[in-house]
């Protein structure tokens, strides 16, 4: 696969999500060609037309089921180009109570948040390394900073994804490929609709998109969308286990 386009291209994995759409708009506004990958990608034709018209950039749609790992090489080859930036926004929150008793649902949450995104980014990592350039962005979560009773199935998967991104960043250092980890904290999206979220700690999808583009430009490594989360998670990570267990957070 070769990259013949002079215009930079951003591939958004999970382009159907609110965050994915916001990131697509932000990169398009910066002049990037945009490729949106998602299940039932044809249903994103309206988004494709809107982004193309609004920012006067080429936009393409690509079918992707991140859980169908056998088809990942076919998906990458089918792009017809090697992007400059790949952003994974793939994720599934699920319900903690259901995940504790339903193996199928727990498996889907774990695979959606860790296995699928990590394996696909790993393929792009190898291609970027061969080319000697590119940026990989993984949208992880503060939930992966420490296992909490309220969402430890989701959190454990995000912890794995965060560790994967960290290791990948270390491996590719000095090889022209940069890896970014984005930790948004609470975000107002369809996934969190109906949840009571604290306004000072809750970002809009557009904030995540702005932080993502900034991280790519400045080659940042790990970014908390709202800086307050850096302090909050520092405290949570360092709470003694006896105290943390009593919190049942």
Under 8 Å between Cβ of 33 and 5: yes
Q: Which of the following is catalytic: 55, 114, 154, 224?
A: 154
What string of DSSP letters covers the chain?
-----SS-EEEEETTTSHHHHHHHHHHHHTT-EEEEEETTGGGGHHHHHHHHHHHT--EEEEE--TT-GGGHHHHHHHTSS--SEEEE-------HHHHHH-HHHHHHHHIIIIIHHHHHHHHHHHHHHHHT-EEEEEE--GGGSS--TTTHHHHHHHHHHHHHHHHHHHHHTTTTEEEEEEE--EE-SGGGTT----GGGEE-HHHHHHHHHHHHHHT-SEEESSTHHHHHHHHHHHS-HHHHHHH--
- Examine the residue annotation and report whether 55 is marked as an active-site residue of this protein: no
Which are the catalytic amino acids?
154
């Amino acid at each position: 696969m070769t990259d013949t386009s002079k215009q930079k291209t951003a591939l958004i994995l999970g382009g159907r999500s609110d965050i994915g759409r916001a990131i697509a708009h932000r990169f398009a506004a910066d002049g990037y060609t945009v490729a949106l990958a998602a299940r039932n990608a044809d249903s994103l034709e309206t988004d494709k037309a809107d982004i193309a018209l609004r920012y006067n950039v080429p936009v393409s749609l690509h079918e992707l089921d991140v859980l169908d790992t056998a088809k990942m090489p076919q998906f990458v080859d089918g792009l017809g180009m090697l992007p400059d930036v790949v952003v994974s926004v793939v994720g599934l929150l699920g319900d903690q109570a259901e995940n504790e008793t339903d193996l199928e649902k727990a498996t889907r949450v774990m695979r959606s948040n860790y296995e699928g995104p990590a394996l696909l980014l790993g393929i792009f990592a190898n291609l970027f390394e061969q080319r000697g350039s590119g940026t990989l962005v993984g949208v992880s979560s503060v939930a992966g900073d420490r296992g909490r009773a309220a969402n430890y199935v989701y959190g454990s998967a995000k912890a794995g994804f965060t560790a994967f991104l960290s290791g990948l960043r270390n491996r590719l250092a000095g090889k022209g490929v940069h890896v970014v980890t984005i930790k948004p904290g609470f975000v107002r999206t369809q996934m969190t609709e109906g949840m009571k979220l604290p306004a000072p700690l809750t970002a809009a999808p557009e904030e995540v998109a702005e932080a993502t583009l900034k991280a790519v430009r400045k080659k940042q490594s790990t970014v908390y969308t709202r800086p307050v989360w850096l302090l909050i998670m520092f405290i949570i990570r360092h709470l003694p286990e006896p105290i943390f267990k009593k919190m049942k957070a």
